[in-house]
Amino acid sequence: MAVREDTPEVSLGRIRGRALFVAVVLFSVFTNLLMLTGPLFMLQVYDRVLSSRSEETLLALLILVAALYLFYWLLDYARGRVAARIGTRLQTLLNRRVFVAVVERAALRGGKGPGTAALYDLDALRNLSASPVFLALFDLPWTPLFLAAIFLFHPLMGWLAVAGGALLIVVSVINQLLSRRALDEAQRIGHGAQRLARQAEESGALVWSQGMAPVLAERWAQVQDRAGEAALRANDRGGTFTSFSRAFRLFLQSAMLALGAWLVLRNQLTPGAMIASSILLGRALVPVEQILGQWPTIQRARTAWRSLAEFLEALPARRPPTELPRPEARLKVSGLALRSDADGAPPVLQGIDFELAPGEALGVIGKSGAGKTSLARAILGLVQPAAGQVRLAGATLDQYAPEILGRHIGCLPQDVRFFDGTVAENIAHMAQEPDAARVVEAAKLARVHEIVLRLPEGYDTELSAGGHLLSGGQRQRLALARALYHDPVLLVLDEPNSALDAEGSEALNAVVADMKKARKSVLIMTHRPSAIAVCDRLLVLDGGRQKALGPRDEVVRAMMKNASDVQRAMGTAAAAPREATG
């Protein structure tokens, strides 16, 4: 639910981007005008210097041409630098917006978003502006002007230049039509190979321990081979036209010299005009040849621009909501229903009604697939209800900006992940300058402070994305500290003790007890008796429907066959946090 709205920084970035674009256009105008220096010099040398045999005139012309080409060098260097900064400015302008959109799409789709392909598209746009073909696009409009200049020398030479240029343009269009599909296929298969490699890396422990590495390597190699073959097909098709255009341009210049020589023999053209026409033709066709040679780069940038536009338009822009005061820990779910993305599939949740008062803990129990995690996602604002509402302190969740809602509702998901950074940064939600006092306080509330102190560098210990320094239980407890960092009014715990030992379960129950004493609310999705020991009420889900809701002990007696065993386990678990906090 990212808010996409122009800020002063974004507007200023757009102004700077336009200024850079205008600068490139102006530099291109001057550099192309200076490119006329060469033909004019040759025209004067052949038609004036050789006939007058004046060394002083030759020296003066040479000095003038050297000065003009010096200016050309400076201007061309300047426009190359400015062009490269256009791509960087564009990337700077879109970086945060695209990154937030990637995270939002992944969150709304349960981690099944388009991944980081949109970020690669940004790189493709930046790479285009830094390549020579980008400047060739600015030089291309000058091609007709140079061709028109050839007509001034002789119409036959002008028509020969036009015919040759038209043939190269036709070749360019054919190249685009034939290579576009091959390039798209190569990129699609390549992205699939990258995705498979990323999945294998993220599941490295499972892949290695289960002996899946050779099988996945073979599968990945096959996809890579297919991507390589598709890239070769695209390269072969594009290379054919590129080689033809280069050879044809050289032939065309020779043909222009031959035609000019014939016209000189017939006294219809001067030798200087013959040489100048050949130079003008080469200059006119250089942008066409460069565009043909770098067509895959242009095609990749066009595809990236189209993909970025579709990607950003898929998420509607939202105005930032009015900031509300810190809410009371009161949650109300009314007639909540969630649909499945699959066509014809039954609703994931239907008819869910309950309230959670300040100082209360509600346990949500049910079999696997009953809808517990889906309910947690709805309360976190990650899915849009098909029917019903979720309200926090009387306000619907969309009345809170995502970054504000994340401070009011702490979350401990089933799949605990960390980012590359220190322990303190991970607890502080990757803040660049973590509040040390709040970090330590959150760790103490989660009963993980002593564990952190035993790490090699304490809170400054670097964690990788997998958090391999920590056990599964330690990771869950550290993630619990992260959920508590912003002092939330509501804590949503999804299977919070799946990897906890007895000590970790006691610490978790103590945290829940502390939240209740502070008049905050806790929602626990679980199936373990130790986790519901500190719950006041239970909500039973079955097949996405609300089957029972009431006081914990009553629901246990009514819904569980082994009620006496569960109550005995809850009694043991409930005693531990009282001892820990008493």
Partner residues linked to 337 by β-bridges: 387
Q: Are 338 and 383 in contact (CB under 8 A)?
A: yes
Q: Is residue 326 assigned to a domain?
A: no
Going 149 to 153 to 159 to 163, the CA torsion angle's sign is negative
Tell me, yes or no, whether 12 and 107 share the same domain: yes
Tell me, yes or no, whether 148 and 101 share the same domain: no
Q: Is residue 513 assigned to a domain?
A: yes
Cα gap 50→57, rounded to integer Å:
10
Which 3 state secondary structure label does DSSP give 233? helix
Instruction: pLDDT band for 110, please (50, 70, 90 cuts).
Output: low
User: Which residues fall within 8 angstroms of residue 567, CB to CB, at 6 or more apart?
Assistant: 553, 556, 557
From residue 398, alpha-carbon distances to 2, 324, 405 in Å are 11, 11, 9
Residue for token pair 């240029």: 165
Tell me, yes or no, whether 433 and 536 share the same domain: yes
Q: Is residue 337 assigned to a domain?
A: yes
Q: What is the pLDDT of residue 13?
A: 47
Tell me, yes or no, whether 353 and 272 share the same domain: no
Q: At 443, which CATH number?
A: 3.40.50.300
pTM: 0.66
Q: Is residue 137 assigned to a domain?
A: no
Tell me, yes or no, whether 103 and 156 share the same domain: no
Q: Is residue 417 assigned to a domain?
A: yes
Instruction: pLDDT band for 490, please (50, 70, 90 cuts).
Output: very high
The percentage of the chain sitting over the pLDDT mark of 90, rounded to a whole number, equals: 14
Q: Is residue 325 assigned to a domain?
A: no
Q: Is residue 136 assigned to a domain?
A: no
Tell me, yes or no, whether 179 and 41 share the same domain: no
Tell me, yes or no, whether 534 and 456 share the same domain: yes
Q: What is the pLDDT of residue 2?
A: 39
Tell me, yes or no, whether 115 and 212 share the same domain: no
Q: Is residue 80 assigned to a domain?
A: yes
Instruction: Examine the fold and report which residue of 293, 310, 343 is the final residue of a domain before the chain moves on.
Output: 293
For the ranges 44-48, 234-238, 258-262, 507-511, the lowest mean pLDDT is seen at 44-48
Residue 6 clears pLDDT 60, i.e. is over it: no
Tokens of 247: 């050879």
Tell me, yes or no, whether 357 and 458 share the same domain: yes
Tell me, yes or no, whether 307 and 282 share the same domain: no
Tell me, yes or no, whether 5 and 151 share the same domain: no
Mean pLDDT across the chain: 79
Tell me, yes or no, whether 80 and 212 share the same domain: no
Q: Tell me the pLDDT tens digit for each residue of 233-273.
A: 777 777 777 777 778 878 888 888 888 889 888 888 888 88
State how far Cα 23 lies from the chain centre. 29
Boundaries of domain holding 13: 1-131+300-320
Q: Tell me the pLDDT tens digit for each residue of 470-489.
A: 888 888 889 999 999 999 99
Instruction: pLDDT band for 144, please (50, 70, 90 cuts).
Output: confident
CA-based Rg of the chain, rounded to a whole angstrom? 35
Q: Which of 59, 61, 54, 51 is nearest to 271 (CA)?
A: 51
User: Which residues fall within 8 angstroms of residue 395, CB to CB, at 6 or more apart?
Assistant: 324, 327
Instruction: Examine the fold and report which residue of 320, 355, 383 is the final residue of a domain before the chain moves on.
Output: 320
Instruction: pLDDT band for 569, please (50, 70, 90 cuts).
Output: very low
Q: At 235, which CATH number?
A: 1.20.1560.10
How many domains are contained in the chain?
3
For the chain, report the end-to-end CA distance as a whole number of angstroms: 42
